[in-house]
Every structure is written in C-alpha cells, then in structure tokens.
Structure 1
C-alpha cells in the first residue's frame, strides 16, 4: 500500500520519471552492488532478524561515496556501568519483541555492526530524535485502535501501545544514523 501511495504522490509532484518505489527483502536486496547514491531504510532495522546482514546489504548497494541514513526505533543505549537493560525494561522489551517477532537493538549496537570489518563505512553519526517523535505517541495509539485487516496490521496495532509506553519509560528511542561508504 505504501508503494502505491508513494507512486501516486510522485506522479502528483511531476517526479515519476525520476523516482520509483519497490518492496524488497532488506537482507536479500535485488539491487546491484553500488547502485544507489543514497540508501535510506525507514523504520526497518527493528523488523530485521539478521542485523549484521542488514547493514552489510545497505553498504553493498550504496555507491562509493554514497550516503546511508538509517531511521529507526531502537532500545536505549546502556550506560557505561550497565551490562544489561534493567529487569523491568528487559521484560517490557521482550513483550515488544514477541509481538514484532524480532530482537531489537540499540543505536550503538547497530553502529558497532556498521564499524565491523564486514561493513565498510565512515563518518558515522547518530542523532536521537525521540523528543521530536514521542509527542505523536497519542496519535499513534489512537491510529492503532482502528479496525485492522490482516496479521501484520493487527501486530502493529498491538505493539504500538507498548512502544509508546516504552517511550514514557525512556526505554524506546527513535534515532537517525548516518554514514558514508568510502570512495
């Protein structure tokens, strides 16, 4: 549905000859190596089981010198004195993971994968957008309470209140990670 909406908006803006949209598997992308100057997965990393393969695919399809911008939900970054999330946070995150069918990570953990030897990127930066996104939490909960059709939309409706509660606990974060593939 998002591809149809994006395509219609693109036509409406007179950009149909410059932009196209496609649904693809984030860890088995059907694109050639180095095909894109900009790679921007939106709210995807929290849905991917193999995060190492995910970041590897992002780097693979980015052109030399290309930019990667990851915009996603994460759990909070651990303080230096912590080895694990607090028990109440871990329990809450497990409820989210059970409904979203995958393990979540922190932005720092995803950055570690970007810095690994299997992925070659530089100029890694992260920005916490939680303060900008959290205010729309009430709208998300209201939207998620509408009747849904299909298992994925039902899952989204069930997990959204938990994500909002996670915001309130300072457990769930919304971050942007940017980096570039070397020339």
Structure 2
C-alpha cells in the first residue's frame, strides 16, 4: 500500500479494497466500539491537547479533549468578543457520538448538523442531544463525507475533528468541505498525517510504510498523506488565510492514557463484549504510540477561509 501519494489521486483504500468495503468496515468498527468509548471516555472521540494549562500528568483526560476543541477554535481565529466571528451554522464531518456538535452548539448558540457512517453513532448522538435539551439545534444523520447531503454554501464553520484520516479520496474530501462552506466561512481540519518528506525523498521508508499499513489494517484507514499535501490542495483551490501546525507534542500523553484505560477491569470487560474489530483496534494502540515516538505520525491542524 502506497503511503505517500498525490493528494489529487484517488486512493485504492486500505490493503487495496474498494471504497464501499472500506466504508462498511469503518461503520462496523464504530458501531461496535462507540458504546465502550463513551462508557470509559465520554462524549469526545478524539485526542486531548496537553500544554502548560493541562500538563501530561493530568488525571482528567476529558478536560484535555475539551481543551483540544478550544485550541482548534483559537487557532482558526475565533474570538468570543467579536460577534462577526461567532458561527451560527456548523457541520461536524465525522461527528462520532456528537461531542463536538453539542459543545459548539452550546458555546455559540448555533445550529449544528453532524454526519457519520455509523448508524449507532448517529442514533446515540441524537439521543444525547435530546437529553441535553439541544434537540432543536443539533441533528445527526448517516451520510458520506465525500457526498454530503447539504446544499452549497450552507455552513459558516465546517468542522472535521479526526475524520480526514478515514477518507479514501483526500481531494474530494477537501472539495466537499469547501463546497458546503459559506462564502467567508471557516474550515477546520484536525487529522492524522504522516511526516513531511524531505526534498530528496519520493516516499516514506519501507519500514515506515509497513508500520502505517498495520495501523491502516486495524482502523480501516486508506492511504495517508502529509500536512503539506493538504496545504497544497487548499492553495490550488484558492482558499484564503491557510494556516497549519504540527500538534504532535501536545497530544503525546493521549494514546498511553487510552492504553491504560483499556487495561483496567472496566476497559477489559467492555472490550471483550464489543467485538473483534474493536479488539483488533485495541491491539494496534501501541503501534500508534510507536508511530508518534518515531516522528512518523503527525497530529496536524489545517485551517482556512473560503473566499467571500
């Protein structure tokens, strides 16, 4: 499996399988695992952000996940004191069980729509929104991020928190994010990437490709790309105010914490009840830690604005 490809070319998907099979695997993985994740970790199915405000020794990793949302908003330039910066219509692309959607809806008093491939996630997301009194403002549905069921220019904030790594066609993914963004709207992509290639490199090293292949097989991931690949694509599509950063150092405590939670009695019993796809994913968690330690995996944020 190629791990360094032109972002404008369509990926064959993990271990060469087609898009429909890949999507089915992703949906089944999250159908199986989301309940266990919620039980142990809560609403937010993404990394935490650890800095001087939330040091690595923090015991409440859920606070670090909220901190990740706030840091992402700050990086994109949102300011509560500036009413022009407050989004009113938001799409959460790859919404998990809706944690970001509900948080953003409460924070901004916004309408938020979330999409996921997992029917279990969509149902649970709506249950939680209704229970929290957000049912009128927040809604969820099963939909493909590469063919979003929304009209052009609907959302002034397009939010993708750790869903890009699942997209087999990165160019189409980004074009869809842009399509549904309103003129002047902000796009936030937080995603896993592989390390940047040096000018003398055409691809990753064979041992790096092999490590990523093992991770792909466990988490139903297609080909990886680098942060510069995303940036070049956004530039080619004439996006404005493009910013990007490597946040790998700020998420370093996350995967070790997930491993520790899986090794508790609650974690082990939940894991055994969840299904083989979830167990396979749990067994691959040390590979994610290895990828970060070797500077192969990069946790990247890329933001931009759609021209007015």
What band does the TM-score fall into relative to the shorter chain?
Answer: 0.7 to 0.9
TM-score calculated relative to the size of structure 1: 0.85
Cα distance in 1 for partners of 2:138, 2:284 equals: 32
Q: Deviations over 1:46-104 (max 9, x none)?
A: 11101111001000000000000001111111123322222221221222223324111
CA spacing shift, 1:174–1:84, aligned 2, 3 Å: same
| Deviation larger for 167-176 or 135-144 | 135-144
Q: Matched residue pairs, number?
A: 181
Cα distance in 1 for partners of 2:212, 2:152 equals: 35
SS at match of 1:40: strand
CA spacing shift, 1:155–1:24, aligned 2, 3 Å: farther
Indicate whether 1:163 and 2:285 are aligned. no
**Conserved in 2, the CA contact under 8 Å of 1:77 and 1:106?**
yes
**Conserved in 2, the CA contact under 8 Å of 1:75 and 1:171?**
yes
Q: CA deviation at 1:152?
A: 4.8
Equivalent residue number for residue 129 of structure 1: 247
Indicate whether 1:106 and 2:226 are aligned. yes
TM-score calculated relative to the size of structure 2: 0.53
**Conserved in 1, the CA contact under 8 Å of 2:242 and 2:303?**
yes
Q: How does 1:80-159 map to 2 (within 5 A)?
A: 80-99=199-218, 100-116=220-236, 119-143=237-261, 146=268, 147=271, 149-150=274-275, 152-159=277-284
CA spacing shift, 1:132–1:22, aligned 2, 3 Å: farther
| Deviation larger for 49-58 or 19-28 | 19-28
Cα distance in 2 for partners of 1:83, 1:163 equals: 23
Indicate whether 1:37 and 2:162 are aligned. no
Indicate whether 1:77 and 2:196 are aligned. yes
Q: CA deviation at 1:105?
A: 0.9
CA spacing shift, 1:142–1:83, aligned 2, 3 Å: same
SS at match of 1:22: strand
Cα distance in 1 for partners of 2:174, 2:163 equals: 11
Cα distance in 2 for partners of 1:30, 1:164 equals: 36
CA spacing shift, 1:144–1:181, aligned 2, 3 Å: farther
Q: Structure 2: 5+ residue runs without aligned partners? A: 1-33, 35-96, 98-121
Indicate whether 1:181 and 2:306 are aligned. yes
CA spacing shift, 1:58–1:91, aligned 2, 3 Å: same
Q: CA deviation at 1:151?
A: 5.6
CA spacing shift, 1:113–1:144, aligned 2, 3 Å: farther
**Conserved in 2, the CA contact under 8 Å of 1:141 and 1:164?**
no
**Conserved in 1, the CA contact under 8 Å of 2:227 and 2:300?**
yes
Question: Please, what is the CA RMSD of the aligned residues?
Answer: 2.3
CA spacing shift, 1:101–1:6, aligned 2, 3 Å: closer
